[in-house]
């Protein structure tokens, strides 16, 4: 069956006319668009972590006339832009201070110091604003070198000397 317009300018077969009837109303409804917004947010907290590697001086000779030195690392990881302070306490040796730390072997002692610089002149302590190391987090691990020095010509008996230093991080 064929359907034609009154002036016969357009003639369609019945299946095409049915399609036109179905498609035309759908196109008319698709011209209006509604929108909505999704608010997206996040809070980034300031956070830090710290690890420390052992400080091994190796063999100390009491008759050596120069200080025995060694280095280790403290590794800091803080959120990008987070300011921090890293302090080192006096250690566990009796009578120790941040300027003169004490390793022990039984009742025997061996003094040493920890420094912020390779010139062994700036003592590393735990008083913020005075003798701690400051920095700003980058979001990546940052390595800070600890410089250790055992004072020369100490009359320490032979033995294995140890101490434990606590690393404190304030941010």
Average pLDDT per consecutive 10 residues, the chain (171 residues; last block may be shorter)? 56 50 53 94 96 98 97 98 98 97 97 98 97 98 98 97 98 97
The reported pLDDT for the residue numbered 17 is: 46
The whole-number pLDDT of residue 76 equals: 98
pTM for the whole thing? 0.78
CA pair distance 86, 132, nearest whole angstrom: 6
Evaluate whether 150 touches 68 at the Cβ level (below 8 Å). yes
Neighbours of 36 (CB within 10 A): 4
CA pair distance 165, 171, nearest whole angstrom: 20
pLDDT, residue 93, reads: 96
Check if CATH label 2.30.30.280 holds for domain 48-170. no
Task: Give the DSSP H or E segment for 75.
Answer: strand 68-78
Position 106 scores a pLDDT of: 96
């Amino acid at each position: 069956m064929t359907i034609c317009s009154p002036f016969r300018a357009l003639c369609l077969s019945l299946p095409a006319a049915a399609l036109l009837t179905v498609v035309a109303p759908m196109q008319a409804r698709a011209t209006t668009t509604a929108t909505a917004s999704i608010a997206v947010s996040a809070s980034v907290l300031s956070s830090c972590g710290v690890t420390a590697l052992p400080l091994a001086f190796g063999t100390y000779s009491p008759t050596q006339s120069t200080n025995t030195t060694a280095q280790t690392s403290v590794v800091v990881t803080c959120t990008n832009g987070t300011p921090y302070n890293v302090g080192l306490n006096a250690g566990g040796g009796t009578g120790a201070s941040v300027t003169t730390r004490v390793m022990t072997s039984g009742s025997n002692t061996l003094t040493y110091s920890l420094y912020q610089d390779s010139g062994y002149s700036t003592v590393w302590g735990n008083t913020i604003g005075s003798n701690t190391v400051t920095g700003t987090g980058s979001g990546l691990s940052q390595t800070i070198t600890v410089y250790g020095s055992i004072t020369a010509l100490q009359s320490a008996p032979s033995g294995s000397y140890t101490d434990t230093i606590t690393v404190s991080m304030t941010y």
